[in-house]
Amino acid sequence: MYDDKENRDPSNFANIPATMRNIGITQADRDKVMELLMDVSGTSVHIDEAIRLYEKLGIKGFAFVKRHQVEKLLKDQGVPQEEMDLEDLNIYDNMTDAQMEEALWRTVEYIATNKTYMLEPNEHARRKRNWISVGPAIVLSPYMFTWGFGAVLLGPVILSPNIFCPPVLNPSILSPWVLTPSMFNPFILSPYILGPFVLGPFAFTSFVLTPYLLSSNIMNPAIFTSLILSPLGLCADILSPVAVAANVLSPSFLSPPVLNPTTLTASVLSPSWLS
């Protein structure tokens, strides 16, 4: 379909442009014949599609594949039909390019925040798969009017002030809060282990049914806070002044205050041992 001038092999008799040139057809007529042949054979459509794909790859660096393309690729790699899991691709096949691109960026966002979601045809039908997240750290990311849910491992919060963001059923291990002021954030059923609070003042924050173990307050002032049914163990308060606070039914063990001034605080039915 094109004139390969470098290939002079006499056995190559199927070179249509060269054949027409050899029999004396003018350049203009050759172009018209080639255009007709390309339209009839569907070559023009494939070329236009290839050009669009090339332009997309040049601009975005990626393109979308269809189910049949993935299926062919897997077959070429010797994957048995019964081992192919292509159900999610049925949803992609019914999407427009714009919808697929939106789904792609949402997936990137979920991966960046260590969350994965089941792909459903309806946006509102997505369901969270992971109940336990490992990292990543939240750094320099202020947030508000949200809530934490699910267990967190190795997910420190650093330089990320927050307000009206209550952790609920949000246990945490090895996830310290550092330089992270917090306000109006009740911690509910969210035990902390090895998650100290460092240089992160609290205001109007309660801890309800939230046990603490090896999670000290270090230079962490607090005002209008309370501990309710939240036992403490090995959680020293160091240089962490407290004002207008109460401990209610919250026993403590080996959790001494160290240089920790208090103002208007009360302890109600909260025994302490070696504290």
Q: What is the pLDDT of residue 190?
A: 94
Digit-coded pLDDT (tens) for 251-271: 999 999 999 999 999 999 999
Please report the DSSP string for 58-109 in residue order.
HHHS-----HHHHHHHHHHTT--GGG---HHHHHHHTS-HHHHHHHHHHHHH
- pLDDT over 50 (residue 120): no
Phi, psi of 251 (to 5 degrees): -65, 155
Cβ contact 268:245 at 8 Å: no
User: Half-sphere exposure (CA, 13 Å, Cβ side) for 5?
Assistant: 1
Domains and CATH numbers, the chain: 16-60 (no CATH), 131-273 (2.160.20)
Cβ contact 272:254 at 8 Å: no
Digit-coded pLDDT (tens) for 206-225: 999 999 999 999 999 999 99
> Element (H or E) spanning 71, and its range?
helix 67-76
